[in-house]
Amino acid sequence: MNIESVITITIMTLIAGVGGTGLGGAIGSLVRTESNRLVSLLLAATSGVMISIVCFELVVECFEASEQVFANGAVFLVCAAILVGMAVVALLNWIIDRRTIDEVPHTANSLHPKTHDNIDELSHVDHYNQHLKEHAPKRELWVAGVVIACAIALHNIPEGMSIGASYNIDTAGEVSMALVLAVLIGIHNIPEGMAVSVPLVAGGMGRVKAALLTAASGFPIVLGAWVGFWLGDIGAMGLACSLGFASGAMLYVVFGEIIPQAVLMYRSKLPAFFVILGMLIGLCIIYF
């Protein structure tokens, strides 16, 4: 494993993850006005770009790498890797939900839908607000904050893997696609950081603490990038598994977390149009 490559990937993902999310958290903690519509549309547009890059770049590269291992059954390896990526992130989300649902009265109610129907539920901010309402000790508030950070951090691991795996796609050592992904993820993390820090501040958390917590949730993107790069560096099989896993995880995050978040923040048809617009932008980035 090339040390220079690892350093390059680490710097890119730190800027995209910690920098993007932290900047969004800082903006969200300082801005007092409602910005849900703007944040929603930004999330929707960046989701569309992610979908295009995953479907028309990462999955295509995954299939090509799989063909070097299984000439006739490449598609099954691609599908299996994508399903595993989806399943792992879904399982981690389920564990967090399972451990926190009983602590918030309205979500513990048997009449409550099985899916999140509120932006605070989706980011687990309601978990923190409930402890704050009950005047819980600082330790419990800190634990609730960690839960929120973990929920956000789940997004960053597969995003980091996609950057690390993409770095291995070009044998000439160019970082074009990895750099494009890092920039896009960094832009995407700004509104996501805003979406998290705004309700934290509204719930009573200090502005500096809310911004720092939001920024800290971006660190796992570096770990994901290391794993994605290492797997992709060990051969065609590793590259196929890394790209497929990252693609599945990112698709789950986009469709299961980010797009619902955008819709819950701005309940209209407009986010759907911005998702499509983002997909078209993604196509231009890939093929221009």
State yes or no: pLDDT of 32 exceeds 60. no
288 domain-assigned: no
CA 73 to chain centre: 30
Interior angle at CA 63, CA 58 and CA 66, nearest 5: 125
- Answer yes or no: are the C-beta atoms of 17 and 250 closer than 8 Å: no
| pTM for the predicted model, two decimal places | 0.79
80 domain-assigned: yes
Total number of domains in the chain: 1
- Answer yes or no: are the C-beta atoms of 78 and 240 closer than 8 Å: yes
CB burial of residue 7 (10 Å; 0-12, 13-18, 19+): exposed
Radius of gyration of the CA atoms of the chain, in A: 19
85 domain-assigned: yes
284 domain-assigned: no
Specify the DSSP class assigned to residue 54.
Answer: I
Which residue matches tokens 């409550």? Answer: 112
140 domain-assigned: yes
Domain containing residue 51 = 3-279
User: Mind listing the pLDDT tens digit for each residue in 180-232?
Assistant: 788 878 887 887 777 677 666 766 777 888 888 888 888 889 998 988 888 87
89 domain-assigned: yes
